[in-house]
Amino acid sequence: MTKYKLTYFDFDGGRGEPIRIAFHAAGIEFEDERISFEEFAAMRDNARFRCVPVLEIDGVAVTQSNAMNRYVGRMAGLYPEDNLQALYCDEAMEAVEDLLHQVVHTFGMEGDELKAAREQLVDGWITTFIKGFADLLARGGGEYFADKRLTMADLKVATQIRSLRNGTLDHVPADLVDRLAPSLVEHAARIEAEPQVVAYYSR
Ligand SMILES: N[C@@H](CCC(=O)N[C@@H](CS)C(=O)NCC(=O)O)C(=O)O
C-alpha cells in the first residue's frame, strides 16, 4: 500500500488544510505530520524550496500545494474531469496563491510598519482578490467555483476566507469579506456544511 506523509503547520488552515480534507474524503490513510513554527525553522534549510507543505509518497518528497490539491483531489473525486471546469478550479486555487504571496510580505513586520502595510493591502490586493473570488463564484453559478459541485477550489478558497474573517490578521477588519462579498461568506458556510467537510472535522 502506498504510504503518504503530509508535513505542514499544526493548525486547521493554510495551504495544508484542503489536502488533509481531501485525503480524508478519499478514505486514504496518511501520516498527518503537524509541525510547530520552531520545527519548521529547523527543517527549512533542508526542505526543497524552503517551504511546506511537503507530501512524501513512499518516501519521495513533493512540494507545491496546488499540485498536491490536484493529485489528492483526483483521488477524492474533488477535481473536475472536464478540462474547462478543471481550468476554473485551477484559476481559483492559483488566485489564492497570489493573495497569499501578497499577505506573506507583511509577516515579520511590527508596529506602525505592519499597520501601514496591512492597511495598504486591505485597500489594495485583499479587496481586489475578494472581489475577484466573488466574480469567479458568480461565473461558476453562485454556489461552487467549478463543476457545479464541491471541488478543491472550494476547499482552498473557503479556508482562506475563514482565515480573513477570524480576526487573526492584525489590521485586516474581520468583517471585510462580509462587507465586500456576502456571496463568499455564504459560500464558506455552504462548504463547511458539505458532508465530506463535516466528516473531516468530526473525525
Ligand atoms: N508555492 C508553494 C508555497 C509554499 C509556501 O510558501 N509555504 C509557506 C507556508 S504556508 C512556507 O513554507 N513559507 C516559508 C517561510 O515562511 O519561510 C506552495 O503552494 O506549496
pLDDT per residue as tens digits for the range 151-199: 999 999 999 999 999 999 999 999 999 999 999 999 999 999 999 999 9
Ligand 1 atom index nearest CA of 66: 19
Q: With a 6 A CB cut-off, is 187 part of the ligand 1 pocket?
A: no
Which pLDDT does position 126 carry in this prediction? 98
Ligand 1 centroid–CA 176 distance in Å is 25
pLDDT per residue as tens digits for the range 87-103: 999 999 999 999 999 99
Q: With a 6 A CB cut-off, is 64 part of the ligand 1 pocket?
A: yes
The grid coordinates of residue 145 equal: 467555483
Ligand 1 centroid–CA 202 distance in Å is 27
Mean pLDDT score of the chain = 98
Which pLDDT does position 100 carry in this prediction? 98
Q: Strand 60-62 vs strand 54-57: parallel, antiparallel, or unpaired?
A: antiparallel
Ligand 1 centroid–CA 38 distance in Å is 15
Count of Cβ atoms closer than 10 Å to residue 39 Cβ: 14
pLDDT per residue as tens digits for the range 25-60: 999 999 999 999 999 999 999 999 999 999 999 999
Q: Which residue has the cell 473570488?
A: 133
Q: With a 6 A CB cut-off, is 65 part of the ligand 1 pocket?
A: yes
For atom 14 of ligand 1, which residue has the closest CA?
A: 51
For atom 9 of ligand 1, which residue has the closest CA?
A: 52
Rounded Cα distance between 144 and 166, Å, is 22
Mean pLDDT, rounded, for 53-74: 98
- The residue to mutate among 15, 66, 72, having the most atoms of ligand 1 within 8 angstroms of its beta carbon, is 15
Full DSSP string of 31-45: EEEEE-HHHHHHHGG
Count of Cβ atoms closer than 10 Å to residue 94 Cβ: 13
